Amino acid sequence: MRVGLMFASAAALAFGLTAAGPALAVPGDPMPGCETQVFANWCDGPIREDGSWKRCLFAHGQYGGGVYTPPVQNCFIVPGPDRIPPLPLGQPPYHID
């Protein structure tokens, strides 16, 4: 009886795995004006008359080594393409179209 139940469970599991569609790690391309990096997404708003734009960082929640880092959202103004720091610490050194 147990062996039959195990085979029936295995068959149902195998059918469920083959009948289900493939899972994707990345749901698709980011929205226009956004760029996906390893641990975060960067999104830029339209360029203003003075050359500046609004940039938002969306960092994903992380768990590792027994420590959980919650997701973060931070938006700030980029003064212009000629005023981006030489070491922008992970952010793109250009406006994202």
- The structure tokens listed for 65 are 């080594």
Q: What is the pLDDT of residues 41-75, one digit of tens each?
A: 999 999 999 999 999 999 999 999 999 999 999 99
- pLDDT value at position 11? 54
pTM, rounded to two decimals: 0.62
Strands 53-59 and 40-44: antiparallel
Q: What is the pLDDT of residues 78-88, one digit of tens each?
A: 998 788 777 77
Q: What is the pLDDT of residues 1-42, one digit of tens each?
A: 554 545 555 555 555 445 444 544 455 566 789 998 888 999
Q: Is the pLDDT of residue 89 over 60?
A: yes
Q: What kind and span of H or E run contains 72?
A: strand 72-78
* Contacts made by residues 39-48, CB under 8 angstroms, sequence distance 24+: 40/90, 42/91, 42/92, 42/96, 43/96, 44/78, 44/95, 44/96, 44/97, 47/95
